[in-house]
């Protein structure tokens, strides 16, 4: 708690300071000269960014940086990862310590404006919800008046909970804990009536941490919108474009069925869209200022968005999240790759 207050005070001070220097710089040139992208990631959130047993970074946020490196250098490995805490993340980007922040960060108006950052595009749509033990018989978050709620500290989650309580005249007793793992353990030990976090987190928690998943229900209310995605500094448009279209290429590749496995066969495809994406029809790479093989390299080395999702958080991962809002727009989700042409 002590640290958190300190973080809040210093964070506020940083916010004020951050407005002073107008940071603009040819990041793209700097990155090219350096030969690697410096990517700010979360110090550890399963499926989003976390080191595996061999100390290699894995996750859906990590894949955004890998894709950008594949597009720029033709090698997804040319990334240096900097693990950042929630309090550090914006300063690190503002001060130029990192080139891109890909750290399950929600895009909001104030972050986009007064912090001097540009939110690129969501790579994961999330929203905050509640999970409770079935035996409580609670059917809606509105019935949680007076309930103790486990919540992770220092995130928008905590603020959303307070907002929701005020708006609906519900008084929660928050139990604030630093680490996700400990929050989850505390909830399942019965210390809290409810646990609030992003719904993706709740689903994953129920699937993996609960001794019997059927004993717990996720309440229907989703009390916040959390479009998570990468950010860069203001005034760095070329660099912004590169990261943005690396992400779009992953979405487009999924839509047109290009996968790591079939990308070489797809080079022979007659579909003009596929030809443009994979650089068979030239022009797209030149416009971005990278090799024409940029999207080919992304799909070959990182995979399309669906592959990345399945591998890190979806069906092929222990988290087993549903695609939900993160399905392609053609399948009822919100993921909508812009045309590469």
Partner 1 sequence: MSDTAIPTAMPKPIAGPVIWLRANLFANPLNAIMTVLVVWFLVMSLPALLDWLLLDAVFQADSVRECRAAGSGACWAFIGEKHRLILFGLYPYEEQWRPLLVVLLLIAMAGVSCLRRFWTKWLAPMWIATLVVVGILMWGGVLGLSYVENARWGGLPLTMILAFVAIAVAFPLGVLLALGRRSNLPAIRAICTIYIELVRGVPAVSLLFMASVMLPLLLPEGMNIDKLLRAQIALIVYASAYLAEVVRGGLQSLSKGQYEAADALGLTYWQKQRLIILPQALRITIPPLVNTLITVFKDTSLVVIIGLYDLMNAAKASFVDPAWRGSSIEAYVFVSLIYFAFCFFMSKYSQSIEKRLAQSQNR
Write out the residues near partner 1 by the rule CB under 8 A: 2-3, 6-7, 10, 13-14, 17-18, 21, 23, 25, 43-47, 50-57, 80-85, 87-88, 91-92, 94-97, 179-182, 184-185, 204, 208-209, 317-319
Give the whole-angstrom CA distance, residue 275 versus residue 252.
Answer: 12
Nearest approach in angstroms of CB 16 to partner 1 is 10
Contacts of residue 30, defined as CB under 8 A and 6 or more positions apart, other chains included, come to 99
Nearest approach in angstroms of CB 284 to partner 1 is 32
Answer left, alpha or beta for residue 65, where phi above 0 means left and psi between -120 and 50 means alpha: alpha
Closer of 84 and 141 to partner 1 (Cβ): 84
Q: Judge residue 275's burial from the number of C-beta atoms within 10 Å of its C-beta, 0-12 exposed, 13-18 middle, 19 or more buried.
A: middle
Closer of 235 and 285 to partner 1 (Cβ): 235
DSSP state of 62: H
Nearest approach in angstroms of CB 46 to partner 1 is 4
Nearest approach in angstroms of CB 71 to partner 1 is 23
Closer of 51 and 285 to partner 1 (Cβ): 51
Closer of 82 and 267 to partner 1 (Cβ): 82
Closer of 47 and 303 to partner 1 (Cβ): 47
Contacts of residue 99, defined as CB under 8 A and 6 or more positions apart, other chains included, come to 27, 30, 31, 37, 38, 39, 232, 239
Nearest approach in angstroms of CB 80 to partner 1 is 6
Angle 193-140-172 (CA atoms, 0-180°, nearest 5)?
45
3-state secondary structure of 338: coil
Q: How far is CA 276 from the centre of its chain?
A: 27
């Amino acid at each position: 708690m002590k640290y958190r207050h300190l973080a809040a005070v210093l964070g506020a001070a940083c916010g004020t300071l951050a407005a002073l220097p107008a940071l603009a710089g040819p990041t793209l040139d700097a990155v090219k000269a350096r030969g690697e992208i410096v990517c700010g990631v979360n110090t550890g959130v399963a499926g989003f960014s976390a080191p595996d047993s061999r100390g290699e970074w894995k996750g859906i946020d990590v894949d955004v940086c890998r894709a950008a490196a594949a597009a720029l250098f033709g090698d997804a490995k040319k990334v240096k990862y900097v693990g950042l805490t929630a309090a550090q993340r914006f300063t690190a980007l503002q001060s130029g310590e990192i080139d891109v922040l890909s750290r399950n960060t929600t895009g909001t108006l104030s972050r986009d404006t007064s912090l001097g950052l540009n939110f690129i595009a969501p790579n994961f749509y999330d929203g905050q919800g509640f999970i409770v033990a079935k035996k409580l018989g609670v059917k809606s978050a509105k019935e949680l008046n007076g309930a103790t709620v486990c919540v992770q500290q220092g995130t928008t989650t905590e603020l959303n909970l307070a907002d929701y309580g005020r708006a609906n005249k519900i008084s929660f007793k928050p139990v604030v804990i630093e680490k996700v793992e400990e929050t989850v353990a505390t909830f399942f030990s019965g210390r809290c009536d409810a646990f609030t976090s992003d719904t993706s987190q709740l689903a994953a928690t129920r699937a993996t941490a609960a001794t019997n998943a059927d004993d717990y229900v996720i309440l229907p209310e989703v009390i916040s919108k959390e479009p998570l995605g990468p950010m860069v500094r203001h005034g760095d448009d070329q660099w912004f474009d590169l990261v943005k279209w690396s992400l779009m290429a992953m979405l487009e590749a999924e839509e047109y069925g290009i996968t790591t496995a079939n990308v070489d066969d797809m080079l022979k495809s007659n579909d003009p869209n596929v030809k443009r994406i994979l650089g068979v029809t030239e022009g797209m790479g030149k416009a971005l200022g990278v090799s024409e093989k940029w999207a080919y390299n992304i799909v070959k080395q990182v995979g399309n968005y669906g592959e990345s999702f399945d591998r890190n958080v979806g069906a092929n991962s222990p988290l087993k999240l549903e695609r939900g809002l993160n399905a392609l727009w053609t399948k009822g989700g919100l993921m909508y790759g812009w045309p590469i042409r």
